[in-house]
Amino acid sequence: MNTSWMYINGNASIREALEHIDRNLQGCIFTTDDLGKVTGVATDGDIRRGLLNGLTLDSAVQLCANTEFVFAGAGDSREALLKKLDQKIRVIPLLDAEGRLQDVYTKDRLPGQKEQKVYTRAKAPVRISFGGGGSDLTHYFMQSGGAVINATISLFSHATLHKRDDSRVRIYSYDLQGTLEGESLEEVCRQEGRFGLIQSVLKTINPEFGFDLYLHSDFPMKSGLGGSAVVAASILGCFNELRIDKWSTYEIAELAYQAERHNLGVAGGWQDQYATIFGGINFMEFRADQNLIHPLKMNADILNELEECLVLCNTGTIHESGAVHDDQRKEMQKDDVRNLVDKNVALTYTMRNMLLRGQLKAFAAALHQGWQYKRQFSTAISNAELDGLYDFAIANGALGGKLLGAGGGGFFLFFVPATAKHQLMNALESKGKQVIPFRFEQEGLRSWQMRDTFGE
C-alpha cells in the first residue's frame, strides 16, 4: 500500500484531510507533527462530528483527531495484530521507534510470514545383532541367500546441518575432534585425513550449496555397533529434509551402502544400513533380486524381558571391520567355512521363531551356538583375549552371547537371566570392562527441521 495518502500534518485543514481519505479508501487519516511523528487518527466519523460541533473545512484536522489510538510496532506478532483487529479497529498503523508511519494493516492486509532460514537435524540409532552375521555380504547371499536378526538401541549418531548463502563447506566432528573446511565441496573432498566416510557420503549426494555440518555420537568409533552406517544415515537424513522429492527408507539405506562400500571401498555387509534407517527389531532377508526387511512384532512382555536379559559390554578394544570382512571373504571360498555360514543362516530362522514365541531360554542357547559358528568364519574374528572374556561371562551367569559387528574387538552382547544379571555386571566391571545401559529403540532414522531463531 502507498502510505503517502494515509497521513497528513495535524495543522493541515479538514478539507485536505478529506481529500486524503477519499484517495486512501480507508475511511481515516493519521495526523503527524512537524517531525513526522504520528500524533493521532481522525476517521470520517470523527470529522463529521467535528463539523457538527462547529468546526469548518478550514479548521486544523488535529482538532478532531483521537490521540488515544491503537498502533503496532515492528516486533508485534500476527497473533497480536489479529487480536487488535478483533476490537472493531479497521486500520492499525505500523510505527517505527520514532513514531513515524511505516505501513498500515487492515483485516484484508496483514503482513505475510517471511520465509526464514532453517537448520535440519537428524539422529540415527546403532544396532545390536543376534544372528546371521556374515550372510549379509553380497558375495555370499548372491548364491545362497542370507538372513539376519538385529535390533536398534538407544545410542545415536547426531547431525545438524546449516545451509549457507555461499559455497563454503565446514564440517565439525566431535568424534574425530577435528574440523574440515574449504571454499567448496570439491576442495573439502580433496583433502586427506580421517574424514573419509563423511567425504564419501557428501560425494555420493553432491549437494549444490555451501553448508555447515556438525556431527557427534553417543558411542565410540570402531565399536562393532554399525557406527559408520549410523553416521552416514544421520548425514543423509539432514540433507533429505531439504529435498522436495524425499528419498525413501530403502533409498537412504542404499545411498549409505554406496558411500561406504563402493565410494570409500570399505568391505562389509548390508544389515547396518537397513537397521539404523528402519529401526526396531527386524528379521532381514538378502537375495540376489531384492533385500526385504521384516519387522518382528513381539509381545510387549517378551520384548521387555529380552531387553532386561541383555548386557552390553565394551571390550575396550577397537576393530577394523573392513579388514575382518576382507579376510572373511577369502575364508568363505572354503567349503567348510561356507557350510558354517549356511548353518548360521538356518539358525537365524529358528531364532526368529523363538523370539516370536517368547522362548528366551532357547534363544540364549541359539545365541551361544551362533557365536560358536561365527568365530570359526575367520581367525580375525576372535582371539585368545576375547575368547577368555566370553568364557568368563559364561562362568558368571551368561547363557549365551556374541561379539557384535565383524569381530576383532568392540562390544560383546551377553544374555543373562534376571537372577544372575548383577553377578555378571559386577564380574565384568571387576575386569575393567564397561557395561553400557541401553533400551531398544523402535524408531530408526529421524530427521526434522527448525527455524534458525538462534542465529538471529
Residues facing 445 on adjacent strands: none
Rounded CA separation 416/419 (Å):
8
Rounded CA separation 131/357 (Å):
17
**Of the candidates 158, 161, 137, the residue with the CA atom closest to the CA atom of residue 147:** 137
Q: Would you give per-residue pLDDT tens digits along the chain (456 residues)? A: 678 899 999 999 999 999 999 999 999 999 999 999 999 999 999 999 999 999 999 999 999 999 999 999 988 888 888 888 888 788 999 999 999 999 999 888 887 767 778 999 999 999 999 999 889 999 899 988 999 999 999 999 999 999 999 999 999 999 999 999 999 999 999 999 999 999 999 999 999 999 999 999 999 888 888 899 999 999 999 999 999 999 999 999 999 999 999 999 988 899 999 999 999 999 999 999 999 999 999 999 999 999 999 999 999 887 666 666 677 677 777 888 889 999 999 999 999 999 999 999 999 999 999 999 998 988 888 899 999 999 999 999 999 999 998 778 899 999 999 999 999 999 999 999 999 999 999 999 999 999 887 765
**Please, are residues 145 and 345 in contact by the beta-carbon 8 Å criterion?**
yes
Residues facing 215 on adjacent strands: 159, 173
Rounded CA separation 221/273 (Å):
16
φ, ψ of residue 102 to 5 degrees: the values are: -110, -35
Rounded CA separation 425/406 (Å):
24
Element at 230 (helix H, strand E): helix 227-241
Selected catalytic residue, list 108, 272, 335, 391: 272
Rounded CA separation 90/367 (Å):
75
Helix (H, G, I), strand (E, B) or coil at 320: coil
Q: At what angle do helices 271-278 and 227-241 cross, to 10 degrees?
A: 50
Which domains can be identified in the chain, with CATH numbers? Answer: 3-105 (3.10.580.10), 119-436 (3.30.230.120)
* Cβ-based neighbours of 330, under 8 Å, separated by 6 or more: none
Pairing outcome for strands 291-295 and 281-286: antiparallel
166 is catalytic: no
107-115 contacts at long range (C-beta below 8 A, 24 or more positions apart): 109/1, 110/78, 110/81, 110/82, 111/78, 111/81, 113/78
Alpha-carbon dihedral of residues 329, 331, 332, 336, nearest 10 degrees? Answer: -170
Rounded CA separation 48/36 (Å):
25
Q: Where do we find the cell 565383524?
A: 406
